[in-house]
Amino acid sequence: MIEIRNVSKWYGDFQVLKDITEEVKQGQTVVVCGPSGSGKSTLLRCINGLEPFQKGEIIVDGVSVSDPSTNLYKLRTEIGMVFQRFELYPHMSALQNITLAPVKVRNKSKKEAEAKAMELLERVGIPEKAREYPANLSGGQQQRVAIARSLAMEPKIMMFDEPTSALDPEMIKEVLDVMIDLSKGGMTMIVVTHEMGFAREVADEIIFMDEGRIIERGTDISFFQNPKSPRTKDFLDKILM
């Protein structure tokens, strides 16, 4: 579904991604962890073409992201993305947040889009908040609306960029539960997170990045017991405590 081949990226002289190769198969959930500044978020943004990269190739669902003839707008409708800071549109209600793209991009009727949005709000557990504005929602609720907003485009892939890092501890679970549901429902997912409970439950592969490189990978959390590099060990000691 997603093939990342030898991707490198620079910001000026600074190399953010160093020869990244990774494959995500249909229905798989891959968890990416690592310290801040290791290039995790940048990698996600390269996958849906929000940022360019200079070397290598990324193929999403048979389409090359860096090919100039690729319609990135069309590609992005297939890839949902959830952000650390939710990024709901503050001037729109939860419902409007969700229906905007389906109406504008998929040319759905307002009625049809709203019916679908309500169904999604039901799925993330907050149908009663449809008319609320983001400012009146808790962090956990905002993030669930953000997930519903991505799902409204019926993407083939969902990417999460530290979806629970900006949340109070008691709200983390409500968001993770939605994500676990999605993963078990067969969604192809790439999740940048340090929630190791989540990784343990649904990850098909876990990769550890540092300084723009993938330095560990494993199909379960086994490498957590036996990290190859001292850098990984150091990091894991901190997040697992």
C-beta closer to another protein: residue 52 or 186: 52
Q: Name the residue among 109, 96, 85, 14 with its Cα closest to residue 54.
A: 14
**Binding positions for another protein, rule: CB under 8 A:** 45, 48, 50, 73-74, 76-77, 79-81, 83, 85, 87-91, 100-101, 104-105, 133, 135, 146, 149-150, 152-153
Residue 2 parent element (H or E): strand 2-11
Contact 153/82 with Cβ under 8 angstroms? no
As measured in angstroms, the least distance from the Cβ of 170 to another protein is 24
C-beta closer to another protein: residue 141 or 232: 141
As measured in angstroms, the least distance from the Cβ of 21 to another protein is 24
As measured in angstroms, the least distance from the Cβ of 3 to another protein is 20
As measured in angstroms, the least distance from the Cβ of 225 to another protein is 36
Residues near 71 by beta carbon (within 8 Å), at least 6 away in sequence: none
Residue 237, token pair as written in the block: 């000691």
Q: Name the residue among 96, 137, 135 with its Cα closest to residue 113.
A: 96
As measured in angstroms, the least distance from the Cβ of 149 to another protein is 7
Residue 154, token pair as written in the block: 């019926």
What is the rounded CA–CA span in Å between residue 84 and residue 212? Answer: 20
C-beta closer to another protein: residue 40 or 215: 40
| DSSP-based three-state secondary structure for 165 | coil
C-beta closer to another protein: residue 1 or 92: 92
C-beta closer to another protein: residue 121 or 206: 121
Q: Name the residue among 41, 47, 42 with its Cα closest to residue 66.
A: 47
